């Protein structure tokens, strides 16, 4: 996947572990705001302190298009705060996918899919047996991608404070 840079050459796509919490947080908030407007929802309130903690832990993975932060996700062995783990079947080494964000300029491209594939690849490399996440089922494109990649829903669709969510899991161990 490439396009032209300002000098006419191809613009490169590269993965990195995020080091700039402000940049990662701005991308996350821009993505949240765009999705909220698109689907008529309220954007979640995000904490820069939480983003900074995740960046310092090396958990935030960033996809760049040239110098631009195009997309990101967080991958961690720790479940998100408040996640109900009882809905999932037992697993020896789960890894948790959180905070998938795509810059509004890249919506409709395969950037989100690239993030999900990269998360599955990293989870497998780290010895995880499953990759777990929560998703808002009203974000239809995201849910279709997760389903297409083999994520399955565990437990009911939950609704809290006007936000719906589902628990999903994909087996990544061979």
What pLDDT score does 9 carry? Answer: 55
> Percent of the chain scored above 90 by pLDDT?
67
Q: Which residue has the tokens 């389903």?
A: 147
| 35 has a pLDDT exceeding 80 | yes
What pLDDT score does 3 carry? Answer: 44
CA distances from 157 to 2, 58, 103, 160, 165 (A): 38, 31, 27, 10, 6
Helix or strand or coil: residue 117? helix
What pLDDT score does 10 carry? Answer: 66
Tell me, what DSSP letter sits at residue 128? -
For the chain, give the mean pLDDT.
90
| 81 has a pLDDT exceeding 90 | no
Q: For the chain, which residues make up each domain, given as ranges?
A: 3-171
Cβ atoms < 10 Å from Cβ of 31 = 22
Q: What is the mean pLDDT of residues 98-106?
A: 91
The CATH number for 3-171, chosen from 3.40.630.30, 3.40.50.620, 1.10.3470.10, 3.40.30.10, is: 3.40.630.30
Give residues with Cβ within 8 angstroms of 154, minimum separation 6: 87, 88, 89, 167, 168, 169
């Amino acid at each position: 996947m490439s396009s032209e840079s300002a000098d006419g050459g191809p613009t490169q796509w590269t993965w990195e572990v995020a080091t700039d919490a402000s940049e990662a947080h701005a991308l996350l908030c821009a993505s949240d705001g765009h999705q909220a407007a698109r689907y008529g929802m309220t954007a979640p309130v995000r904490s820069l302190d939480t983003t900074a903690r995740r960046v310092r832990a090396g958990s935030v993975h960033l996809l760049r298009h040239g110098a631009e932060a195009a997309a990101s996700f967080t991958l961690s062995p720790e479940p998100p705060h408040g996640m109900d783990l009882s809905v999932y079947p037992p697993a020896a080494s789960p890894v948790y996918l959180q905070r998938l964000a795509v810059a509004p300029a890249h919506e409709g491209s395969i950037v989100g899919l690239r993030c999900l594939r990269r998360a599955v690849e990293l989870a497998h490399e780290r010895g995880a047996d499953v990759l777990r996440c929560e998703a808002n089922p009203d974000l239809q494109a995201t849910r279709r991608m997760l389903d297409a990649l083999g994520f399955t829903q565990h437990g009911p669709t939950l609704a809290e404070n006007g936000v719906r969510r589902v628990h999903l899991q994909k087996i990544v161990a061979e």
